[in-house]
Amino acid sequence: MAAKNEQKNVKVEKKTPPKKPNKIVKWWNETVGELRKVVWPTKEEAWRMTKIVLVVVLGTAVFLGAIDFAFSKLIGVLLG
């Protein structure tokens, strides 16, 4: 009789398959993993590249401003 009572108290655990992370969690984990592989520039390299970008942007702005000014004058002469 005691053996029957013990069998009733024993829990039978169902094996559940491991949960798959949802797509957002998977994407986040992959992103963090890729960012750990990145070789970040040093402070000096970052400043040098920033200066190059600023010079190119300034040069492009001056060039486009000059072209705009020239075409505005040309249109003014042709229509005026």
Separation CA 39–CA 63 (nearest Å): 35
pTM: 0.56
For residue 57 the two structure tokens come to: 């942007």
pLDDT at 12: 64
Query: pLDDT in tens for each of the 80 residues of the chain?
Result: 555 555 566 666 677 777 776 899 999 999 999 999 999 999 999 999 999 999 999 999 999 999 999 999 999 999 98
Q: Are 62 and 54 in contact (CB under 8 A)?
A: no
Tell me what pLDDT residue 64 has: 98
- Residue 79, token pair as written in the block: 């229509």
